[in-house]
Structure 1
Amino acid sequence: MDIQTIGLIASIITIIMFISPVDQIRDIIKDKTSHGVSPIIYGMMIINGICWVIYGFGINNSFIIIPNAVGAVLGTATLFIIYKYRSHKE
């Protein structure tokens, strides 16, 4: 297996991993509460994704840029939903 194939497989797996919060977003919207959901992990997901994207551009590697950009965007969307449905008493 060549290195390009490994990069493609790793990118696909990373995107699948970053898509996993979509179920949580759906539950938050359905229940209209983000009680019990920590925003810290999603903040770190955004920071991590941005750092990897910058690094990916630095070495001109789309296998790093694309999945981590997806992760940063989905982390941002999740964080937005968490705060939108955060109750005032939490």
Structure 2
Amino acid sequence: MQLLCVEPAAMPRPKVISRKKATARTEPAAFVDDADAYSIEEFCRRHRLSVQLFYKLKDEMPRTFNIVKRRLISREAAARWRAEREAAGLCSATEQSA
């Protein structure tokens, strides 16, 4: 008895019918900038931090407040946090150069 080796015919790739639609995470920058408070995810995206780093360094992050089940960061708290980080960066740079 002899076995025949038959290769399957190459199947064509399926056509792409549509592209992924934009999700809620890809909000326009103007919409996020107008907000009086940011979610933790928005704050992290805006400051180019990971959410994991936010929770890891939670004591060094801005104060948050709760509204129902959401945890938010006010625009003012974010501005204070940025000013503190900038001041800390200036102090460490001065100490290193001395």
- Normalised by the length of structure 1, the TM-score is 0.30
Larger Rg: 2
Of structures 1 and 2, the one scoring higher in RCO (CA 8 A, sep 6+) is: 1
Which one has a larger percent helix, Structure 1 or Structure 2? 1
